[in-house]
A and B are shown apart, each in its own frame.
Chain A
Amino acid sequence: MNKRRPPEPVQVVKKRRDAVLRTMVEGVPYIQFLGIEFERRGDELTAVMPFDQSLIGNPILPALHGGATAAFLEVTAIITLSWGLIWEDMESGALDVNNLDHSHLPRLPKTVDFTVDYLRTGLPRDAYARARINRSGRRYASVHVEAWQDNRSKLFAQATGHFVLPTRQG
């Protein structure tokens, strides 16, 4: 009879996943500059961009800068994609999670193109985004991102992007 490994204690699993996610996000200065944070439920990520005056484009309306919105969507796409790529190694133990810093993580995917669809004015409020990986192959990935503010069903922007994936070492 084959012996099954007992399931890991939940706090060990959570600690590992949160540590990897934190390392990925905190290592990128531009994500810190925009103040973007990631919330995790299992493997699902939600990006949060808390409102800040420095994210305003048009001060008369006022409205979020289209560039801040585009960056928020692109950050969400890259982190979600990278998170999906790292998941298996993180869970199997192939990634040494006790010795983590950015230099031990795989390279981030490179954006080839990114198309943002501005659906509504970005209000001076917190913004949320989730990415869906439509295809992630050996070399390329296609990702769709949706962003909303007060109502999940009323998107204020969405985007589609293509990425070149980092080459797997070993």
Chain B
Amino acid sequence: MSDKIKMARQFIQALPHSVALGMHLDELDNGTAVISMPYSEKLIGDPKTGVVHGGAVSALMDTSCGAAVMSHPSNPAGTATLDLRIEYLRAATPGQKITTRATCYHVTRSVAFVRAAASDDDIENPVAIATGTFTVEGHK
């Protein structure tokens, strides 16, 4: 693991809001980030069904997309979200962990383009899809 990735890892694992949501960084390399968030009662958005709130999925998507940018080989010094669109394909199954895989597929001098998918145990059928653009902060 390169020093750059090690530092990005430490930074991402210390984000207070991500820590509060119980997120775990599973993979980080070469413009791809995999982050998971265990099911928890505090994340419930629909008290009748126990389904996780869309906002919690958004937070997970935003974190993984930002992490993917940080790990891109172009080495951005930092990043912030410009725009993030999420499509909710289906309700996540209550009780199951949600995992997102984000890929930063293009970087210019000023903008990084990212897409991500979130799934529960049924990995063939994503619960949500995201596309986002992120800022690229001064190279080193």
Q: Which A residues fall within an 8 A CB radius of B?
A: 27-34, 53-59, 63-68, 70-72, 74-75, 78, 102-103, 107-108, 110-118, 121
- Identify A70's interface contact among B15, B18, B59, B88, CB under 8 A: B59
Contacts of A58 in B (CB 8 A): 15, 78, 80
Do A56 and B17 form a contact, CB below 8 Å, given A67-B61, A70-B58, A116-B58?
A: yes
- Complex-state Cα separation, A32 to B44, whole angstroms: 10
- Identify B85's interface contact among A64, A74, A107, A115, CB under 8 A: A115
Contacts of B46 in A (CB 8 A): 28, 107-108
Q: Which B residues fall within an 8 A CB radius of A?
A: 14-21, 41-48, 52-56, 58-63, 66, 78, 80-88, 91
Q: What would 26 A/B residue contacts be, using CB atoms closer than 8 Å?
A: A28-B44, A28-B45, A28-B47, A34-B55, A53-B16, A54-B16, A56-B16, A57-B15, A57-B16, A57-B18, A58-B80, A66-B84, A67-B55, A67-B61, A70-B59, A70-B62, A71-B56, A75-B55, A107-B46, A108-B46, A114-B88, A115-B83, A115-B85, A116-B84, A116-B85, A117-B83
- Say yes or no: B15 contacts A114, CB within 8 Å: no
Contacts of B54 in A (CB 8 A): 71, 74, 111, 114
**Which 7 A/B pairs are nearest by Cβ-Cβ distance?**
A67-B59, A71-B55, A65-B17, A30-B53, A70-B58, A54-B20, A67-B62
Contacts of A30 in B (CB 8 A): 42-45, 52-53, 55-56
Instruction: Specify the chain A residue showing the minimal Cβ separation from B83.
Output: A117
Contacts of B61 in A (CB 8 A): 67
- Identify A67's interface contact among B14, B58, B83, CB under 8 A: B58
- Say yes or no: A102 contacts B81, CB within 8 Å: no
Q: How far is the CB of B82 from chain A (nearest CB, A)?
A: 6
- Say yes or no: B17 contacts A114, CB within 8 Å: no
- Say yes or no: A29 contacts B17, CB within 8 Å: no
